Amino acid sequence: MPRVWFITGCSSGFGREIAIAAAKNNDTVVATSRDASKLADLLPLGITPKALDITGGDAEIKAIVDDVESTVGPIDVLVNNAGYILEGAVEECSDEEILTHFDVNVFSQIRLLRAILPSMRARKSGVIANIGSIAGWSGHPAAGFYCASKAAVAMYTEALRAELAPLNIDVTCIEPGYFRTNFLSMSGGHKVTASNRIPDLHAGTQANRDALVAYSGYQPGDPAKGARVIVEALTKSGRCEGRTVPARLALGRDAVEFIGACLEREREMLDSWKEIIASTDCDDVLNT
Catalytic residues: 146
Q: How many CA atoms lie within 13 A of 283 on its CB side?
A: 0
Alpha-carbon gap, residue 76 to 93, rounded angstroms: 38
CA R_g for the chain: 20
Q: DSSP states of 153-167 as a string?
A: HHHHHHHHHHHHGGG
Alpha-carbon gap, residue 196 to 23, rounded angstroms: 43
Contact of 148 with 50, CB cutoff 8 Å: no
Tell me the residue ranges of DSSP E strands in the chain: 4-7, 28-33, 48-51, 77-80, 85-87, 126-131, 169-176, 191-193, 248-251
Sequence letter at residue 110: I
* Dihedral over Cα of 60, 63, 68, 74: its sign: positive
Alpha-carbon gap, residue 190 to 18, rounded angstroms: 17
Closest by alpha carbon to 82, among 175, 8, 149?
Answer: 8
Alpha-carbon gap, residue 45 to 105, rounded angstroms: 28
Helix (H) or strand (E) segment spanning residue 87: strand 85-87
